Amino acid sequence: MAYPQTDVQTLQMSFEDFLKYDEHTCAEWINGEVIPMSPASDRHQNVSGFLESILRIYVESKNLGLIRSAPFLMRLNKNKAREPDLLFLSNAHQDRLLPTYLDGVADLVIEIISPESIGRVRNDKFSEYEQAGILEYWLIDPIRKQAAFYQLENSHYHIIDIHDGVYHSKVLTDFQLKESWLWQDPLPNVLDILKHLNIL
């Protein structure tokens, strides 16, 4: 399936001014440019909300750290700040959390592909997250019903093969995700998933 390409106009501003930018506008800051994000689809939001619900309860019940969802800014370096769909920040890195953004990288980042974002998340963000040292990167494509799970080893991302259809997270202690959950329509009941994960 081909994804359409879209052109967007960008604004130029400093990071300090970007932090004062309309907080209800989904945008990223790359090399001094404000890159606006297109509105998310219903399927995108549904998958994102499903994962956020499961992960937030799992992380809080295990006292592992915190989950944040877009729009919440993660500053990778002095020139780039991204807004992942979801991120996990471990207890060990809570000092990176500031009132309005994450000053440094998360331990886990999840991006859910939309038609306009395919090149950005598969290419730009992949290399940026790898270089920044984000330990796990989940790339989920609800349209093609494909998911790729990457873990950082020796400063490079390696895709994790999941022959049994279950992904075992490295940074989320004992967390297991059945890829098939993501493609069900309707999505599984969150309470059923939490019971499966022995949370309820």
**pLDDT at position 64, please?**
98
**pLDDT tens digit string along 18-67?**
888 755 567 888 888 887 776 678 888 999 999 999 999 999 999 999 99
Domain count, the chain: 1
11 is a domain residue:
no
pLDDT at 3 over 60: no
Pairing of strands 101-103, 108-112: unpaired
pTM for the full predicted model: 0.84
- In 3D space, the residue among 135, 142, 172, 174 whose CA is nearest the CA of residue 157 turns out to be 135
**pLDDT at position 9, please?**
54
**pLDDT tens digit string along 75-126?**
999 999 999 999 999 999 999 999 999 999 999 999 998 776 666 777 789 9
Q: 172 lies in which domain range?
A: 40-196
Task: Take residue 188 and report the two structure tokens written for it.
Answer: 């599984």
- Sequence-separated (6 or more) residues with CB below 8 Å from residue 189: none
178 is a domain residue:
yes
52 is a domain residue:
yes
**pLDDT at position 6, please?**
41
Q: Are 65 and 169 in contact (CB under 8 A)?
A: no
15 is a domain residue:
no
d(CA 142, CA 134): 23
**pLDDT at position 31, please?**
85
pLDDT-based confidence at 8, cuts 50/70/90? very low
Question: Does the CA dihedral 152-138-194-176 come out positive or negative?
Answer: negative
Task: Map tokens 């890829």 to a residue.
Answer: 179
User: pLDDT higher for 128 or 200?
Assistant: 128
Question: What are the distances in angstroms from CA 150 to CA 22, 83, 89, 93, 153?
Answer: 33, 18, 17, 20, 9
**pLDDT tens digit string along 144-184?**
999 999 999 999 999 999 989 999 999 999 999 999 999 99
Domain of 46, CATH number, reads: 3.90.1570.10
116 is a domain residue:
yes
Write the burial class of residue 67 (CB in 10 Å: 0-12 exposed, 13-18 middle, 19+ buried).
buried
18 is a domain residue:
no
102 is a domain residue:
yes
Q: Does residue 116 sit in helix, strand or coil?
A: coil
Question: How many Å is the Cα radius of gyration of the chain?
Answer: 17
7 is a domain residue:
no
**pLDDT at position 163, please?**
83
**pLDDT at position 29, please?**
85
Q: Are 128 and 121 in contact (CB under 8 A)?
A: no
- Sequence-separated (6 or more) residues with CB below 8 Å from residue 151: 135, 136, 157, 158, 160, 170
Task: Read off the pLDDT of each residue in 180-192 and give the average, rounded to a whole number.
Answer: 97
